[in-house]
Structure 1
Amino acid sequence: MDYNILDSIPDLTNFKTFTDRYFSKRYILNVDGVENNDIMLMFHSNRITLLSLAPSHFFFKKDMEYKINFSIGNVDRLNNTVKGKSKKGGQILTPNSVICKVEYSDGSAFDIPCGLKGTLMEVNEQLVEHPELLKKMPDADGYIAIILSSIANSEAAKSELLSHEDYVKIAASW
């Protein structure tokens, strides 16, 4: 009986990404009534939620130099500090709380809201030095923030938001 060791290697082209394996994606379309102002919330079973831009967001169609600004009014999201096992000290967020601004070189900008009631655990500080991550890897290294919400808020948001399957169906019709 001949056994070819190469036959034991799985097909590496069909592996899911980390976020595809462990996170449930939900979407909010046309935030604040702005067409294609779409955000993606990726929910983990431990109530951690990653905030990112949805693939259909107008940001991905605009080819202009930009930067990410986490200073919103008198609040600097980069100064958010969370301590201890119970994650005390994080900034309290409502669904409309602005996490950051994307500022273009021509002076135009847009806000990115969190879309979920919870506590800000951290913002992705890498986006300040490497803003291109937001465009190149939005559901991986280009996430915007990590939010922790209560079980009730997390489950309610998941049930109200557009599922990944429904989003794909809608996106196919565009």
Structure 2
Amino acid sequence: MIGVSGPIATLASVAVTAVIVGVLSMRGVSGTARGATAAALAVVMLIVSGTLPDRLSSRGTIASETGGIAWLPFERAEIARRISTGEVVFVDVTADWCLTCKANKALVLDRDPVVTALGRPGVAAMQADWTRPDEAISRYLEGFDRFGIPFNVVYGPGATEGIVLPELLTADAVMDALHRARTREFSRTE
């Protein structure tokens, strides 16, 4: 699948967007100067983000294409089957057009300790790709009263209803949910 942008380009775009917002909110500078500076930064962002590599190469900080997460395709019925065998299931609802999803991937999912934890035996990483409309994924989200992404849930013998993670993931939140799902019952509203 061809992505909209790689994780590095996404992070650069987010950083430049923050700078643009800062420039536009500056007081004491004429509106013309603010607008011209913001426009110039936007052009630079478009040019540079298209030339940035998709992966970092520095000592495995971000997983390589071959060493990353082995995502299973989303199948709702498969979640219950895997839980019944004692597995923990991490569900990632994502899309190529979702910049927050890409940031979560670059900053949390493709980094240790999360990438290692999702690759361990007894843990299944399942990805629901919502790049194009998909009725099954829409119904899944509606089951949690959600209508947008990113959306991540961890299931397991100790969390058969799922542990809903925050939209902006942290390694601590993911690791804690993986541990809790393996050990004891939690409600999905926690």
Question: Based on CA coordinates, which of the two structures has the bigger radius of gyration?
Answer: 2
Pick the TM interval, shorter chain: under 0.3
With structure 1 as the length reference, what TM-score do the two structures score? 0.22
More helix by share: 2
TM-score (norm 2): 0.21
- The answer to which structure has the higher strand fraction is 1
